[in-house]
Amino acid sequence: MPASAADSAIYRNLFSDDATAALFSDSAEIRAMLLVEGMLARVQGELGLIPETAAAYIERASRETQIDPSALAAETATNGVPIPALVAAFRKEMKAPEYAQFLHWGATSQDIMETGLALRLRRVTEIWDERLGALVATLGKLAAAHADLPMAARTYGQAATPTSFGALVSGWGHPLLRHRARLAALRPELATVSLGGAAGTLSAMGPEGPAVRAGLAKALGLSDPGHSWHAERDRIGAFSAWMAGLMASLGKIGEDLILMTQSGIDEIRLEGAGGSSTMPQKQNPVGPSVLVALARHSVALASAMQGAGLHRQQRDGSAWFVEWLSLPQLCISTGRALALAEQVIASLSPDADAMARNLNAGGGLIHAEALSFALARHMPRPEAQARIKELCAEAIRAGGSLPDLVRRDFPDLDLAIGSLGTAPSEARDFAAQAAV
């Protein structure tokens, strides 16, 4: 009974991403939490907090036990957290109460859940980093291939000046290079162990508390923050904001593609575009539209995550629940958007003829700036601009060509139109950066 389209059997392929979703499945969550409980016991055994035999038994069991997610549902609804039910179920499964009593020794629910989440996010972000790398590389090749392909740059939807398709692509790619660098800075923050005990003082572990935390971090390959951080939500907030920022950049690609595939513009063709239930001709830019939608939705979810940073006192159930409601969806959408962007980019081909047609349409008004600078070599620039503006008006009124009108009035002028300026070199520069 899906609350999320990503969980729907009908819509899953449109909105979900298997690799990311796998890490947010109920079983993956339970698996990660059991792993943390097992490692916690091992470390506590090594440090003498609990008997080593119990520790060994718990750790081994933590790898082997299967817990049915739905068996935790009723008690989770009462307690607000699944850990009491999980610990009870695990203890029962262990069938060794003399050892099982040492499970979850001195930890609190949030320790186990968030350390488990850290493990899963480490893997999730690793997958995404690879995808980002591949996407940037694909964009780099596309930019290089079309570094010199002329097209009309548009501001406010209006033809502005000539540019190249490669330069447009490089404008898609640059933010991704930076998002990737930001992710690299974020990842270690996310890969942080949480161990604070009931309310952040680790008091049930006695003086060994910090050593347990350090040992657990080491055992799991996470970093030890050196203190409890249950109520410090800035890291997950920054991660959410990063996702929203990435999604906005991917959504921008989607928006551009929707505009460029418009009937009458036709500058981009997408393989495998979507069909209609009633219009045989339709080739809808479904992928780009999904990118835009995921971006808008994710920006809203990320604002919920940031708001959850107002986390009261040592633990704020309401703020924490907001994260649970928002984060998995946000991550799965991010995973989907990355995979889909790669797929969309791979399926697109620019139509050089259509680009040329659009560039030359509209009476060549797109060359107005270039012509005004050409003319400004022979008269003051404000005057040149005014003259060209008049000729633009004439061209629109009479339907003529601006360059022709300029030639008529200034027969000796070197028009010098059609320059792509820095567009080709910018495209190549990006390609070079993307290839690293």
Residues 62-81 that bind a copy of itself (CB under 8 A): 68-70, 72-74, 76-81
Helix (H, G, I), strand (E, B) or coil at 272: coil
Our CB check for a copy of itself shows the closer of 119 and 202 to be: 202
Rule CB under 8 A: choose which of 96, 199, 356, 415 binds a copy of itself: 199
- By the rule CB under 8 A, 430 interacts with a copy of itself: yes
Q: What is the CA radius of gyration of the chain?
A: 29
- By the rule CB under 8 A, 139 interacts with a copy of itself: no
- By the rule CB under 8 A, 48 interacts with a copy of itself: no
Cα–Cα separations (whole angstroms), residue 44 to 107, 215, 231, 245:
11, 9, 24, 40
* Eight-state DSSP code of residue 133: H
Rule CB under 8 A: choose which of 53, 66, 203, 349 binds a copy of itself: 203
Exposure string for 244-269, b = 16+ CB within 10 A, e = fewer: bbbbbbbbbbbebbbebbeeebebbe
- Applying CB under 8 A, the span of 58-66, 117-125, 130-138, 418-426 interacting with a copy of itself comes to 418-426
Rule CB under 8 A: choose which of 55, 118, 392, 405 binds a copy of itself: 392
Helix (H, G, I), strand (E, B) or coil at 420: coil
Question: How many chain residues touch a copy of itself (CB under 8 A)?
Answer: 200
- Applying CB under 8 A, the span of 126-134, 139-147, 272-280, 407-415 interacting with a copy of itself comes to 272-280
Helix (H, G, I), strand (E, B) or coil at 274: strand
Contacts of 77 (CB under 8 A, 6+ apart): none
Cβ at position 48, least distance to a copy of itself in Å = 14
Q: Which of 244, 382, 389 shows the shortest CA–CA distance to 302? A: 244
Cβ at position 316, least distance to a copy of itself in Å = 7
Binders in 336-355 for a copy of itself, by CB under 8 A? none
- What's the CA gap between 91 and 29, in Å, rounded? 18
- By the rule CB under 8 A, 90 interacts with a copy of itself: no
- By the rule CB under 8 A, 397 interacts with a copy of itself: no
Handedness of CA 56, 57, 58, 63 (dihedral sign): positive
Our CB check for a copy of itself shows the closer of 119 and 247 to be: 247
Which tokens go with 337? 């958007």
- Cross-strand pairs, 310: none
Residue where the block lists tokens 């979810």? 301
- By the rule CB under 8 A, 93 interacts with a copy of itself: no
Our CB check for a copy of itself shows the closer of 220 and 332 to be: 332
Rule CB under 8 A: choose which of 56, 293, 356, 415 binds a copy of itself: 293
Binders in 303-332 for a copy of itself, by CB under 8 A? 303-304, 306-322, 324-326, 328-329, 332
- Applying CB under 8 A, the span of 14-22, 123-131, 134-142, 404-412 interacting with a copy of itself comes to 14-22
- By the rule CB under 8 A, 158 interacts with a copy of itself: yes
- By the rule CB under 8 A, 377 interacts with a copy of itself: no
Contacts of 324 (CB under 8 A, 6+ apart): none
Q: Which of 378, 372, 371 shows the shortest CA–CA distance to 418? A: 371
Rule CB under 8 A: choose which of 39, 43, 58, 107 binds a copy of itself: 107
- What's the CA gap between 4 and 11, in Å, rounded? 9
